[in-house]
Structure 1
Amino acid sequence: MKGFWGCCFIFFCCQAFAQTSVEKIKFSKIELHSELSNSRVTSILQDSRGFIWVATEDGLNRFDGYEFKVYRNLPNDTTSLLKNSILNLYEDSRGILWISTSNGGLHTYNIKQDNFERIKEYNFNCEIGVITEDKDYIWIGGVKSHNAFIDRLDKISHQWKRSTLFRSENPTLFISRDAADEFWIGVRNIGFFKWNEKTNSVKKYSADKNNRNTIIHNGVHQIIRDPKGYIWIATEGGVSKFEIATGKFKNYSKALLQNHTAPLVDNTLSLCMDGDYIWIGTENGGLSQLDTRTDNFKNFSNIKNDPSSLPDNSVWVLYKDRQGRIWIGMYSKGLCVIDRMKDKFSELDIPLENDVVNAIWQDSKKRFWVGTENGIAMKDGSNVHYFNHSENNPNSLSSNPILSILEDSKQQMWFGTWAGGLNRFDEVNNRFITYKPDSERINSMSDANVFAIAQLKESGKLLAGTYKGLNILQDEKRGIFTNYRSDKFEYNNYIRTIHEDSEGNVWIGTIEDLALFDPHTQKIVSFNTSMDPNFHSVGGLVNCIVEDKKRRLWVGTNNGLYLIINKKYSKRYTIESGLKNDIVYGILEDNSGNLWLSTAEGISKFNPETNKFKYYDVNDGLLSNEFKANVCFKNDEGQFFFGGKGVNVFYPDSIKDNPYIPPVYITDLKLFNQSVKVGDKDGILTQQISEAFEVSLSPEYNFFTINYVALNYTAPTKNQYAYKLEGFDDTWNYVGDQRSVTFTNLDPGYYIFKVKASNNDGLWNEEGTLLIIRILPPWWETWWFRSLASIIIISVVMGTYKVRVSRITQQNRKLEDIVERRTRELAHQNEELLQIQQQISAQRDLVSEQNMELQYAREIIEKQNDEIILRNETLEAEVEERTRDLVEYNQQLEQFAFISAHNLRAPVARILGLGNVLGIIRNDPNEVNMIIDRIMFTTEELDRVVKDLNTVLELRKDNTSVITRINLADELKLVKINLEKEIEETHTVFEEDFSNAAVVYTLKPYLDSILMNLISNAIKYRNPNIPPVIRIQSQIVQEHICITVSDNGLGMDLPLYRDKLFTLYSRFHSHVEGKGMGLYLVKTQATALGGKIEVESQTGNGTTFKVYIRNQTSA
C-alpha cells in the first residue's frame, strides 16, 4: 500500500547536499562597476596594509572592497609589469610585495611610487613557480632553459645564489625548509621531492599504484604545510597528506573513500588551511571541504539559478585572509568569497521548486516543512521530499499554494492552502485528507482560502482563519466545522492570523483590524471598540501576533508594531520610533527578550527595554530584504526561521557584530575631477596619495576631490565615513557611505584633512588617517609682494608727511619772526612814550598853562597803550590759532593716509584679479574683451579715487574751493560697485530712499569714505542666519542733510561699547576680521564736514547710523 501511494503521489526523494546541517554556505560573487581585469584568477594575497591583490592571466588587480585598480604592462615604461599574465604573489616580512609573470619576469612593488621594480636576472626565458622566505633568505623557485632551479636571496647582503635541480619543463611551486635544513619541494606536474641544499641532492617521492604509502599522483598542482607539520599535496589523482616524521602518505580520492564522502572529482588544483578544515579546489568538480578530524568531505558546486552557490566548478586559487574569509579564484568566473562575518544569516539547505515561501514548521520529529507557492518541501535527515497537487490523484494536496502549517497535539501535520481548503497529512497512508467548503453541507468550511491555523490549548480544537470568518473543527473524521463571522464589521471576517495568549484569549488579526474571539458568546468583536474607548486604532493589515515572556502582546501590522498590555493599547512603533519600515511581517522572541522583526526592509532586532533597533539586510546575508506575513518559526533549539524568498535560518545568539576595526586610506586626489598621478608635471605628488603626509596646491587648483576607503570587505557598502577639514571646519561631517569629498575656493593656508570610518556593524576606527593640505597664496598675497607694497605705501606716506612737516616748520619760523619783530617795535614805542612822559613831567611845573594840553596828551598816550596791549593780545591769539591749525593738519594727514589706503585697495585688487583671470581665459576672445572692459572700468574708478584724493589735498589749502554738488543715488551706486564682490557673495539687499533730500553740497571724498565704511561694516557684521538687508535714506534737518544707514545684522551692546565706539583701533566682534578704523574715520570726517554722527543698536537686532552733514551752497 505504501509503495502504491508513493507512486501515485508526485512524491520523491532526492539526496541532500553532502552537508547534513540545515544551514547552507553562501558564495558571494565579487561583481562591481569596476571589473576584474580578467576572469581567470591565478593568485590571491592580502598585503600587510589590508588590500587584496588578485593576479589574473591579463593584469594585476588591487581590490579595496569597492573597486579594482588594474596594473598592466605599459609600453616604454620600465616601471610597469614586464608581462600581463601574472603567476605568483608573495609579500615578505618586510612588507615588500613580489610578483612573477609568465615567460620571464620578477618584480617588487614600490608602494611609494605605485609602480614596479623589475629584477633584471629574471627578465627573460624563465618562469617563476613559487616565492617564499624563511628567517634569512628569500627563496625563488622556477624553471629556466629546461632546468628546475631554486634561487636564494640573502636579506642582508642582497646576494643571489642559484641551485639547479634537474631537467624539467615545469617550475618549482613549493619550497619548505625543515629543522634539519632539508627542503621539501614540489615541481608542477613532475612530483614531490626532498632537497639537500648543501649537497644539492634530490630525492623524489614517486607515485606507485600498487603501494598506498606513496603519493597518489605525480601530477602535482599545489602543496601547503599545516601547523601540525603535515604537508598536503593537490594532484591530478586526488589529495595526499605527507607526515614528515614518518615519511608516510595518506591519500584521499573517490576510489579510496568508498565509505566516506569524497571530492566530486580527483583532479585537485588548490588547497587552503582553515583551522581543522582544508578547502580543496578541483577541476570541474567544484569545491570540497575536508574535516581533518573525521576525514569527511563536504562538496559544493554550481547550482543552476542559485546565485549563492559556487559560480564556477573549476577552482584555481584558494586564499584565507586575516579576518578568516576564504577567497576563491576561478577559471572563468573571476572571484568569489565565503565571508562568515558577512553571512550572519544562512539559507535553509532545502532545494525548493519555488522560492516563494508562505509557511515554515519543524515538527516533533525534527523534520522541516516548507510551504511554497508550488507545494510542500519536507526535509527528513538528509532526504528531501516534495508534495504537490495532482489533478488525477484525489489523495494529493488539494492545491499547490500553501498558506499556513501547523502540527497539532496528536503530531498530525495540517496545511492551509489557497483555494484548496484545509489539508491534513495522513502519514500512515501517505495521503492528504482535504476539508473544503461544500454548498450541500452547512457545517462544512466557510471558505477555501486558509491563511491561519491554530489549536486551542484547553479544548484542543483546531481553528482555521479564512477570508469568510473563523472555522472551528468540531469533528475531524466527519469534517464538521462551526463558522463564526463578525456581523458588525465585514473586514473582521478576512482573517490573516490567530493567536491564543497565556490567559486563553483568542486574538485574531484581519486585513483591517485586531479582533477578539469570545468562545462563550461565539462572537468576533473588534478589539479597537470593545476593550478601550480611548484605544489608538490598530489600523492596517495585521500580519502577526506574538506574546512575549512578560505576557506582553506584540502585533505586527502594515502600519507599524503595536504593544498591548492587559488588553489595553500601550504603544506604537513606526519609522519615527526607529523601525526601518512600518510593515512588520513576523515576530520572534529570543532567549534574551529581544524581538526579531521581519519587515519590508530586512530584519530588525528590537530591545523592548531600551527601545533600540538594529537592522540587517541582504548585505548581512539575508536572501531578500522583503518577507512574507507570519512566515517565521522558532524551534526547540532556539533556531530562528524567517521566510519570504527562500528561508533564512540563524541562531540569534550567534549574530555578532564584526569586531574588525578597518584601516582607513586616502586613495585618490583629483583636481577638477582628474586624478593626480605620481610624478605629474606639476609635481604635486612625489609618492602615491595613500603614502603622502602633505600636499601643496597652487591657488589655481581651487577645486579638488579626495577619495578615501575603509578596508573592510564584509558588506563594505555598509561602511560609514566621517571627515573634517581642520582650519576650515573643525566638526566631524558624518556622510554615510560616501567615499569622497570635494572642496572649492579655500583660502590660502594650512589645512588638516582627517577621515575616519566604521565597519559594516558600526565599529569605528576613531584614529582614521590624515593629510596636510597647503593652499599656496596668489602672488599678490605672498609675503614678498605684501612687504614690497607695504614699503612703497609707507615710503609715499612718509614722504608726504615729511614734506608737510617741512612746510609747517617754515610757517612756524615765519610766525616767530613776525612776533619777534612786532615785539621789538612795541618795546621801542614804549621807550619813546616813556621819554615823552618824562619830558612832560619835567615841564609840568614850568608850563602850568599847558596842563590842558598835557591832559590831552596823557589821554592820547593811554589810548595808545590800550592799542598796544590789544595788539599784543591779538598776536598771542594768532599764535595759538596757528598752533591749533598745525595739530589739526597733522591729524588730517593721518586721516588722508588711511583714506588713501582704504580707497585704493579695492580698485587695485580688482585690477589684479581681472589680470589673473585674463591669463586663464586668454584663448577666448569674447571673454577677453569682457575682462578688458572691466579692467578699463576699474581703471577709471581708480582714476576717480586718485582725483578725489587730490581734492582732499586741495581742501587743506582752501576748504571753500572744492564744495561740490553730489547726487546721493549716484554716489551710492559707486559705493556698490566698489563693494560688488562682497554684495554678490552675501546676497545683500539694498533699500534706498533719497526722495526727501536727493542732493547735498559737501566734500565728495569725505562723503565717499563715510558711505563706504558704513555699508562695508553692515555687510561684514551681518547675521549669518538671514540675508543681509541695508536701508539708506536721507532728509533735510535744518542746515544739515541727515543720511541714515540701517542694517539687520549682529548689532552691538551699545551701553558696553559707547565710550570707545568711535575711537581708533576699536573692534566689537572678534570673529570677524577688521582693523578698527572705519567708525573713527566716519566720525572724524563728519565733524570735518560741519556735522556729527549718531548710533542706535541692540545685540541681534541690527544697527542704525545717522550722519549729519552741513549742506553748504556751491561756490
Structure 2
Amino acid sequence: MSRLQNGVVESLSLGSEWVPYDLEEDRDGTLWVVGRGVWRMEEGELVREARFSDVVEARFAHEASNGDLWIGTRRGLYRRRQGAWRRYTLDDGLMSEHFVSVYEDARGVLFFGTHGGGLHRFEEERFFVYTRDHGLPGEGIWRILEDDLGFVWMSSDQGIYRMARSDLDGIAAGTRARLDALVLTETDGMPSAECSSGSPGGWKMQDGTLWFPTIKGPAIIDPSTFSLNERPPPVRIKRVMADGEALALDGTASIAPDARMVEIHYAALSYVASEKNRYRYRLEGYDRDWIEADRRRFATYTNLPPGTYTFRVVAANNDGIWNEAGATYQFRVSASWYELWWLRVLGALLAGGIFAFMVYYRKKWREARETARALRKEQERTVAQSRQLAEQAQRLQEIDRFKSRFFTNLSHEFRTPITLIHALVDDLLAERAGTLSEEARSQLEVVCRNTRRLEHLVDQLLDL
C-alpha cells in the first residue's frame, strides 16, 4: 500500500503477504485499512486493531450514517459503536459469516452481500435475509448498487441481478412473497456473467451509469435506457408422457394404475432471450406449495396415488414479468383392483370389526379376570372367617368344658358339707342326742330350712 502526501509517494509495508481490500475514513478523520487484519492510521502510522487477529480476512469497512463502523470478514460481521466492538454470527440470525459487500441507502438501511448466504438487510437493530426462497436468483452477492429509478443491482458469479426496491421492502415487511428479479448475462451483452468479487465490485458514476467488473472486462449499464419486456409470456403444455407413452392434451386423460412416472413438458412462448424464461408449477392434489423450476421446462412425478389431479404452470419472461394465469392440464390416475373404494371400505369395515371384536374380547377378558380376582379374594376372606369362627368355637367349647368342670366341682364341694349339716340337724330335731328346748328347736328348724334351700340351689347349679 502506498500513500501520497505533499506530492511524495510513500510505500507502507505491512508484510509481504498482506493485501489491503478496502479503505474507509470515519467522521473523526481516522483511516481504517482492512485486509488480513484491521488497521487504523494514528499520527501517520498504521496500528493494528487488537480486536482482530491477523488471520481474519476483512473484505470491507463502512461507516454508517449513524456513526457505526461496520467491517465484514470471513468470520462474521463486526460493528464498532462508541469504541466498543460487537461480532454478529450465525447465532444472531445470519445465514453466512462470510461477508463480501455493503450498501447503505438514503434511509440508513444497510444491505450486506455474502458468499453463499444470500442478501442480509439490517434495519432497526434486526437482520432480515433474502434467499432463493424469496426469489433471489443466487445467494452469492459481490456488489450492491441502487440506481435513480428505484431498482437495486447486484453482481454475482452468475450475472447481474436487478430487482425493484419496493419488492425488497415488501418482502421484509411481509406484504410480498417473492422477488421478480431480472438476470443479465452474456446474452445481454456482458463480457462474462462471472463478476469480480474484489473491492470495489462495482461503482455508480455521476451520470447514473453502473460499472461492474467481470473476469473479461467491465460491464456498463445505463438504467435510464434499459428496455423492459413488459409482455407476460403465453404458457402452453407441450407434451404429457406416462411411462414413455404420450397422452392426449385435450380433456381429462386417464393414466393406468401401474404407471410409474408421469412427465409434463411446458414452455413459455416468449422468444426475447427465451433462455431466461423462468417457471414455477404445482400439481393440485399432490404438491403443497409451488415448485420453483427456474429454467427447467418439464416436471416429473413418480408413483402417484389414484385420484384426479390438475397441473398448473406459470412463467416469467426474460425481464421477470410473470403470467400468473399460466396453463393447466387435468388427468386422472386409475386405481388398481386392490385400491377400489368399495374394497377399501370393505377392508376398513373388516378391520374395524376385528378391532371392535378384539376390544370387546379384551374388555370381557379384563372383566373375567377382575371377577376371578374378586371371587378369589372373597374365598380367601371366607376361609379366613371360617378359620376364625372355628377358633372361636373351639375357645367357646373349652370355656364350656371349663365352666362345667368348675360348676360340677363347685357343686360337689357345696353339696357334701350341706348334706352333712342337714343330716346332723335332722338328728338333733329327732332328739337322738337329747331333749331340745323350744328355742333350740326353733333355731334348728331355721337351719334346716336354709340347708334345704341351699341344696335346692346346688341342684339348680348342677342342672345348669
Deviations 1:239-290 (A, max 9, x none): xxxxxxxxxxxxxxxxxxxxxxxxxxxxxxxxxxxxxxxxxxxxxxxxxxxx
* Among 211, 219, 239, the residue aligned to 1:641: 211
The answer to whether the aligner puts 1:769 opposite 2:327 as a matched pair is yes
The 5-angstrom pairing of residues 146-295 of structure 1 reads none
Q: 1:497 to 1:578 in 2, by over 3 A?
A: closer
Whole-angstrom distance in 1 between the partners of 2:62 and 2:360: 83
**One-letter identity of the residue aligned with 2:355:** L
Q: Match of 2:262?
A: 704
Whole-angstrom distance in 1 between the partners of 2:74 and 2:224: 28
Give 1 or 2: higher helix fraction: 2
Q: Match of 1:732?
A: 290
Are 2:311 and 2:329, in contact at CA under 8 Å, matched by a contact in 1? yes
Are 1:640 and 1:651, in contact at CA under 8 Å, matched by a contact in 2? yes
Q: When the two structures are aligned, how many residues end up with a matched partner?
A: 311
Are 2:158 and 2:185, in contact at CA under 8 Å, matched by a contact in 1? no
Compute the displacement of 1:562 (Å): 6.8
* Among 185, 190, 199, the residue aligned to 1:618: 185
Are 1:548 and 1:589, in contact at CA under 8 Å, matched by a contact in 2? no
Q: Match of 1:906?
A: none
Are 2:237 and 2:327, in contact at CA under 8 Å, matched by a contact in 1? yes
Q: Match of 2:20?
A: 495
Compute the displacement of 1:648 (Å): 0.7
Whole-angstrom distance in 2 between the partners of 1:754 and 1:605: 27
Aligned to 1:524, the other structure's residue is in SS state strand
Q: Match of 1:509?
A: 34
**One-letter identity of the residue aligned with 1:618:** T
Aligned to 1:668, the other structure's residue is in SS state strand
Aligned to 2:331, the other structure's residue is in SS state strand
Are 2:182 and 2:319, in contact at CA under 8 Å, matched by a contact in 1? no
Are 2:263 and 2:299, in contact at CA under 8 Å, matched by a contact in 1? yes
Aligned to 1:495, the other structure's residue is in SS state coil
Compute the displacement of 1:524 (Å): 0.7
Q: Match of 1:1092?
A: 365
The 5-angstrom pairing of residues 254-653 of structure 1 reads 465=1, 470-475=2-7, 480-486=8-14, 490=15, 494-500=19-25, 504-510=29-35, 512-518=36-42, 521-527=43-49, 529=50, 533=51, 539-540=56-57, 542=59, 573=112, 574=114, 575-578=116-119, 580=138, 584=142, 588=145, 590-591=147-148, 596-603=153-160, 610=169, 616-618=183-185, 621=188, 622=190, 623-627=192-196, 629=198, 630=200, 632-644=202-214, 645-652=216-223
Q: Match of 1:1078?
A: 354
Q: Match of 1:1022?
A: none
Q: 1:649 to 1:1078 in 2, by over 3 A?
A: same
Whole-angstrom distance in 1 between the partners of 2:68 and 2:325: 44
Q: 1:754 to 1:653 in 2, by over 3 A?
A: same
Q: 1:616 to 1:553 in 2, by over 3 A?
A: farther
Q: 1:713 to 1:1075 in 2, by over 3 A?
A: farther
Q: Match of 2:240?
A: 669
Q: Match of 1:914?
A: none
Whole-angstrom distance in 2 between the partners of 1:643 and 1:769: 40
5+ unaligned residues in a row in structure 1: which ranges? 1-464, 677-683, 790-897, 903-1016, 1018-1064, 1066-1073, 1095-1107, 1109-1115
Whole-angstrom distance in 2 between the partners of 1:538 and 1:616: 35
Q: 1:693 to 1:721 in 2, by over 3 A?
A: farther
Compute the displacement of 1:1085 (Å): 5.5
Are 1:639 and 1:650, in contact at CA under 8 Å, matched by a contact in 2? yes
Q: 1:727 to 1:765 in 2, by over 3 A?
A: same
Are 1:506 and 1:516, in contact at CA under 8 Å, matched by a contact in 2? yes
Q: Match of 1:6?
A: none
Whole-angstrom distance in 1 between the partners of 2:217 and 2:77: 24
Compute the displacement of 1:747 (Å): 4.0
Q: 1:605 to 1:753 in 2, by over 3 A?
A: closer
Aligned to 1:1092, the other structure's residue is in SS state helix
Compute the displacement of 1:647 (Å): 1.6
Compute the displacement of 1:640 (Å): 1.6
Q: 1:494 to 1:774 in 2, by over 3 A?
A: closer
Whole-angstrom distance in 2 between the partners of 1:593 and 1:724: 32
Whole-angstrom distance in 2 between the partners of 1:649 and 1:594: 16
Compute the displacement of 1:768 (Å): 2.0
Q: Match of 1:928?
A: none
Q: 1:731 to 1:499 in 2, by over 3 A?
A: closer
Which structure ranks higher in relative contact order (CA pairs < 8 Å, sequence separation ≥ 6)?
Answer: 2
Are 1:665 and 1:710, in contact at CA under 8 Å, matched by a contact in 2? yes
Q: Match of 1:659?
A: 230
Are 1:605 and 1:615, in contact at CA under 8 Å, matched by a contact in 2? yes
Whole-angstrom distance in 1 between the partners of 2:146 and 2:68: 11
Compute the displacement of 1:649 (Å): 0.8
**One-letter identity of the residue aligned with 1:659:** E
Larger Rg: 2
Whole-angstrom distance in 2 between the partners of 1:565 and 1:653: 38
Q: 1:634 to 1:503 in 2, by over 3 A?
A: farther
Deviations 1:165-191 (A, max 9, x none): xxxxxxxxxxxxxxxxxxxxxxxxxxx
Whole-angstrom distance in 1 between the partners of 2:56 and 2:318: 35
Whole-angstrom distance in 2 between the partners of 1:634 and 1:618: 19
